[in-house]
Amino acid sequence: MARQISLVVNPTARRGRGAATLAAVEARLRASGAQLETLRSTSWSHAEQLMAAAVRRGVDVLAVMGGDGMMHLGLNACADAGGLGRTALGMIPAGTGNDLARGVGLDPEDTLAAADVVAADHRGALDLIRAGDRYVGAVLATGFDARVNERANAMRWPRGSLRYTVAALAELGVFRPLTYRLTLDGVVREQPAMLVAVGNTTTYGGGLRICPRADPTDGLLDVTVVHPVSRLKLLQLLPQMRSGRFARDPCVEQLRVRAVTVAGEGLVGYGDGERLGATPIEVTVAPRALPLVVAAAR
């Protein structure tokens, strides 16, 4: 029996540029001998419904073509089905950030290469972050970074990744250290911080290496704490996140845990760039929770 692939597409990804490669992606998936159905989403909720229905039907692969928001929906649909050996997620990056695809070794700019990975159908499994009632694949943000995301979401201009740069500069002008209550593997800490990020993979924000040592197969969560610094110092650190070099600064603390609760007045959590809601948020690692189509080992 031919392998069944449901391809869920966000036609508006990259302001419509993702749709331009759809025919080529479909051709590569069909060339693998798979039985392919393409499902075009019209909204966030519609995409969620399409993915959940495909997983319930028991398709072999749920291939998601879009950005991190679409991948977030896809990984939740596959992980919620429980256990391995069921519908695997195939990632075909076609968004702006593509951090989850980057975190599993895909080229975030090469949509067709990712389609070839899905076509080859090598299986693996990925750890996930369990945050309340949602799974997160890449990073959970709760501080300055979450405030930037919140501000960017409310902006109509500019479009694309530049919006987050503008939002970061605007937030920097008013930001003050936040008061956290963290419970790290049962140990309680109360402290001020600029941000606390919990990572399964290394990057967020389109390639910012906020958790540079994170490994989504090690059964652990990487926690990055940026302790209080001046606005000037934070401004200096932001570009260093692109390489991960910021983590060498004495104001940055990195931890590895299996569970963390993030709490604090006025704190909001974002996972994979999507709003999860106000804290407290109980976060645990979910080892090998996501069946995934991965690139073959070289």
> What are residue 37's DSSP bridge partners?
6
Write down the pLDDT at residue 16. Answer: 57
258 close to 185: Cβ distance less than 8 angstroms: yes
Start-to-end Cα distance in the chain: 29
Write down the pLDDT at residue 160. Answer: 66
| Of 16, 150, 155, 195, residue with least CA distance to 96 | 16
Q: Which domains does the chain have, with CATH numbers?
A: 4-120 (3.40.50.10330), 136-287 (2.60.200.40)
Torsions phi, psi of 151, nearest 5?
-65, -45
Write down the pLDDT at residue 19. Answer: 66
Query: How open is the CA angle 245-249-251, to the nearest 5 degrees?
Result: 135
Residue 291 in tokens? 């069946």
Write down the pLDDT at residue 83. Answer: 54
pTM of the model: 0.93
| CA within 13 Å, CB half, 34 | 26
Write down the pLDDT at residue 129. Answer: 98
| Of 225, 250, 60, residue with least CA distance to 142 | 225
Beta-carbon contacts of 273 under 8 Å, excluding residues fewer than 6 positions away, are: 68, 69, 72, 97, 99, 149, 204
Kindly give the parts of the chain with pLDDT less than 50: none
Helix (H) or strand (E) holding 199: strand 195-199
DSSP H helix total and E strand total for the chain: 8, 16
